Amino acid sequence: MSTLLVSQRNFESHVTPAGHPERPDRLRAIEEALGRERFAGLIRKDAPSGDLQLAELVHGPRYLDGLRRARPAEGVGQIDEDTFISSGSLDAAGTALGAGLLALEAVALGQARNAFCAIRPPGHHAEIDRPMGFCLVNTIAIVAREAQRKYGAERVAIVDFDVHHGNGTQDIFQADGSVFYASSHQMPLYPGTGAPGETGMGNVVNAALPGGSDGLAMQEAYEALILPALEAFAPDFLLISAGFDADYRDPLAGLNWRPADFAWLTGKLMEVADRRCEGRIVSLLEGGYDRNGLATGVAAHVGALMGFGAG
């Protein structure tokens, strides 16, 4: 069995203002990186459009209506200081969700060992009642709920290695012991949440990393905190919020991870998944704003998912 790559043909439908870091070119960089010969063994599929009504599984009842009202007929509308919505944004968010659900199905049915979804806009900052931080819909949270609802997973784990804390995912699941949420993130940094004392009902683990710290600090945090907790939770399914903005080149943050660090971390998560849930991993792209940092990070992550090993 191999690794599935789900791509999103309409990634350019979500338009942000000129100069905004979350831009369509991010996905072009990933396409180029994963187009290399080394990745010829990937199963490749295009994302179908997903049912955005499923957002009601994790967001408030008026959430989608609010997004539809905020969506301009043309041009780009503003939701908050750094979150924007264009006429095609909900189409893009719908296929981002479709990608996650297709990946979930393929891995749940054993058609692929694991999967990576190259999607935008990202989702982990979107809270129960509030889109924010470039995020419109919390895609990974919906995928987690569908893993439970449709495929009978009782316990779903989400590990989030984006450099920013996934406040939205934590908001959605902090009072639900059937979902485990662990995040490593730079602190202090946007959005300001994710202190180690935020533990939900024992199902939330936050590893705060100081600005300027490198892959060694990351490895220590995972070995001491996140990996043992993940192992003990014993998920039926492992989802990854894969952000690549902890890369040393990223303009929005100040950690110093190298591509090999993303490979190391992916390998460690796979070891737990192999022991606990037959290797079932679905990874969804979140942040990553330096073109080369994103491309090399994704290549390291997907290479590890394919079993190439670290480095």
Site residues (vs Zn ion, CB under 5 A): 162, 164, 243, 245, 287
Q: Which is nearer to Zn ion, 180 or 289 (CB)?
A: 289
User: At closest approach, how far in Å is the CB of 161 from Zn ion?
Assistant: 10
User: At closest approach, how far in Å is the CB of 270 from Zn ion?
Assistant: 22
Q: Which is nearer to Zn ion, 84 or 233 (CB)?
A: 84
CB count in 10 Å sphere of residue 35: 11
d(C-alpha 168, C-alpha 171), whole Å: 5
Residues 6+ apart with CB under 8 A from 1: 110, 111, 112, 113
Residue 125: active-site member? yes
Catalytic one among 14, 59, 124, 125? 125
Ramachandran area for residue 133 (φ above 0: left; ψ -120 to 50: alpha; else beta): left
User: At closest approach, how far in Å is the CB of 297 from Zn ion?
Assistant: 12
User: At closest approach, how far in Å is the CB of 82 from Zn ion?
Assistant: 11
Helix runs in the chain, H state only: 25-34, 63-70, 89-108, 139-151, 167-173, 215-221, 227-233, 259-277, 291-305
Closest-approach residue to Zn ion (CB): 287
Q: Give the bridge partners for 132, in sequence order.
A: 135
Distance of CA 287 to the CA centre of its chain: 8
Task: Report the alpha-carbon angle 77-78-83, nearest 5.
Answer: 125
Question: Where in the sequence numbering do the catalytic residues fall?
Answer: 125
